[in-house]
Structure 1
């Protein structure tokens, strides 16, 4: 979109801040807008290039503005932060977004509602798993106060805790023992909630071609497949598999000066949840594969195990991108060739 008005929007819960320069008068406009009247401001305007931070609610507003014919560019908060050099307030943030949207840079893909719905399932499942872990650790800590040290592992906990509760019931008030037993029984309810969410993910997997396609890749299970498709958005927004791997944070961090570049550990940019799933998938392949392949075997001889795992996760991330971007099925022995 050429010669269009650039608009910076700092979104919030109730009051949005809008910053732009009027092309006719040259006036710098930086004013607040109520949430209820935000879309009305853009209804009768000529197509604009609208910049927003990729934060809570940004994808919803981006979809609405795109329907009106505007071009929306979502940007990472750290990219926008570089343009705010003074006070931190709504007006300054909107101006920083206005400056950032006019710079060349990788935009965050706008997610569809269905993709965000799947991510919502992942976030709720992740929250339940964390709460379940907290519950288990809390039980272990409380029982340790009475000299009952539990073995590691959920299965051993379930096996030992009835006997432990029976022993401490002889020494402690019934109200304490009954509460501990309720906390233990509550773990089964959390297990059922997690399982129910996973069943709903499997139903979505059967209907989505992209999820089914990358599920054929070794090391890609239900969680990784559904999370990857939902978070990537449009795979064609990335120029290559390497760009996607860099977006996930699976490439080395670089520092240097004077033409000398130093490589460090992975950058850890992008979504931590997706990167964790990719690395766990690679670890599963290395642990369970009977024939990991010549590339992995050679790397194992010269690099530490964790480095090999991350390198394999990087390679698998590129494979996922290729399957989604080119809309083709996974082929184990496929060799990519650059076009002439």
Structure 2
């Protein structure tokens, strides 16, 4: 046990697979530990480096193991998978733990910062809100389809359905039987409850964004509101993990997919890798920025108008979301305030001569 210097863990609900090696990389221990004995086993282990995949419960276990004095690293699952023996065709807990341990030994490996309980609490608000929005969308689609079965057609849009739903259901001239009217009105009550829950989460997220200094600086940008600012601060944790804004945009999946070889560059659609929730918020914010750009006269808005004229609406959305991601990195990593008139410094060729 004294020879252990690095431990790879495959987390699960009830059992954890351990793969431990010494300083030379030789396997010292392969072991399965129950969840109840997990912390006590590490409490009796000399301080070492512990690696886990950044998955469910990983941040909690990382905090607890750090309290015991261990150096904990969280590895994105897609970075650990290539080190699994057998590739995608062979998979078990022991091989996963070994792959995590091997991936941790790579000098250029990238890691996920451990989130604090407060940061995970903020993300809980976002995830609960997203779940309620999805439930409301499913309910609205179900109600619209059921009304259409009786020849009641309401124009597209949740607001239009909200305005006309009760009147259409209570209209005695329709074919709706009594049982169907009662069922639909009960669904209307559920819809109102979901609206109230979503509004409560909106208020909580807005309060977090208004009280967090970094989030307040992010909201100075056009296209970044309380939802995006709060999610960015809680998700990114430490923007300095990225070398520059371009790297953070790549982490969010906002850069073209490459299939380049032999010095010939081939670019495709955006990769859509990384955090899909934060990427979605950036795209929604980009829609707002593009839609209102012609009303403003700052440098960024003029660029948006010119770009849309040149490449079209959808490519402009991607470009604006990418630019906003880079600006977010500068705000969070450097503590700067957003300046819409900022122009990046360009090297002077004459000075290099």
Bucket of the pairwise TM-score, normalised by the shorter protein: over 0.9
After superposition, what is the alpha-carbon deviation per residue over 1:85-130, rounded to whole angstroms, capped at 9, x for unaligned?
Answer: 3231111111111111112222112111111111111010000001
Within a 5 Å distance, the mapping from 1:88-127 to structure 2 comes to: 88-103=91-106, 104-127=108-131
Cα 1:26–1:267 change in 2 (3 A) is closer
- Residue 62 of structure 1 aligns to a residue in which SS? helix
Q: In the aligned structure 1, how far is the partner of 2:49 from the partner of 2:56?
A: 20
The answer as to whether partners of 2:19 and 2:27 remain within 8 angstroms in 1 is no
Tell me the equivalent position of 1:244: 248
The answer as to whether partners of 1:4 and 1:49 remain within 8 angstroms in 2 is no
Within a 5 Å distance, the mapping from 1:20-169 to structure 2 comes to: 20-23=20-23, 26-86=26-86, 87-103=90-106, 104-167=108-171
Q: In the aligned structure 2, how far is the partner of 1:73 from the partner of 1:339?
A: 38
- Mean alpha-carbon deviation: is it higher for 27-36 or for 220-229? 27-36
Tell me the equivalent position of 2:239: 235
- Mean alpha-carbon deviation: is it higher for 315-324 or for 202-211? 202-211
- Residue 293 of structure 1 aligns to a residue in which SS? helix
Residue 14 (structure 2) pairs with residue 6 (structure 1): no
Aligned partner of 1:324 among 332, 340, 349: 332
Deviation at 1:171, TM superposition (A): 4.3
- Mean alpha-carbon deviation: is it higher for 51-60 or for 173-182? 173-182
Residue 321 (structure 2) pairs with residue 313 (structure 1): yes
- Residue 124 of structure 1 aligns to a residue in which SS? helix
- Residue 259 of structure 2 aligns to a residue in which SS? strand
Q: 5+ residue gaps in structure 1?
A: none
- Mean alpha-carbon deviation: is it higher for 261-270 or for 45-54? 45-54
- Residue 261 of structure 1 aligns to a residue in which SS? coil
The answer as to whether partners of 2:18 and 2:32 remain within 8 angstroms in 1 is yes
Cα 1:64–1:338 change in 2 (3 A) is farther
The answer as to whether partners of 1:168 and 1:177 remain within 8 angstroms in 2 is no
The answer as to whether partners of 1:128 and 1:194 remain within 8 angstroms in 2 is yes
Q: In the aligned structure 2, how far is the partner of 1:281 from the partner of 1:61?
A: 34
- Runs of 4+ displaced beyond 6 Å: none
Taking only aligned residues, the RMSD between alpha carbons, in angstroms, comes to 2.2
- Mean alpha-carbon deviation: is it higher for 201-210 or for 38-47? 38-47
Aligned partner of 1:196 among 185, 197, 200: 200
Cα 1:10–1:173 change in 2 (3 A) is same
Cα 1:4–1:318 change in 2 (3 A) is farther
- Residue 226 of structure 1 aligns to a residue in which SS? helix
Q: In the aligned structure 2, how far is the partner of 1:183 from the partner of 1:301?
A: 45
Q: 5+ residue gaps in structure 2?
A: 349-353
Q: In the aligned structure 2, how far is the partner of 1:24 from the partner of 1:78?
A: 25
The answer as to whether partners of 2:74 and 2:113 remain within 8 angstroms in 1 is yes
Q: In the aligned structure 1, how far is the partner of 2:138 from the partner of 2:267?
A: 37
Count the aligned residue pairs.
Answer: 338
Within a 5 Å distance, the mapping from 1:182-221 to structure 2 comes to: 182-221=186-225
The answer as to whether partners of 1:169 and 1:177 remain within 8 angstroms in 2 is no
- Mean alpha-carbon deviation: is it higher for 86-95 or for 11-20? 86-95
The answer as to whether partners of 2:169 and 2:176 remain within 8 angstroms in 1 is no
- Residue 189 of structure 2 aligns to a residue in which SS? helix
Deviation at 1:150, TM superposition (A): 1.6
- Residue 260 of structure 2 aligns to a residue in which SS? strand
Cα 1:172–1:90 change in 2 (3 A) is same
The answer as to whether partners of 1:22 and 1:29 remain within 8 angstroms in 2 is no
Q: In the aligned structure 2, how far is the partner of 1:307 from the partner of 1:210?
A: 29
Residue 292 (structure 2) pairs with residue 284 (structure 1): no
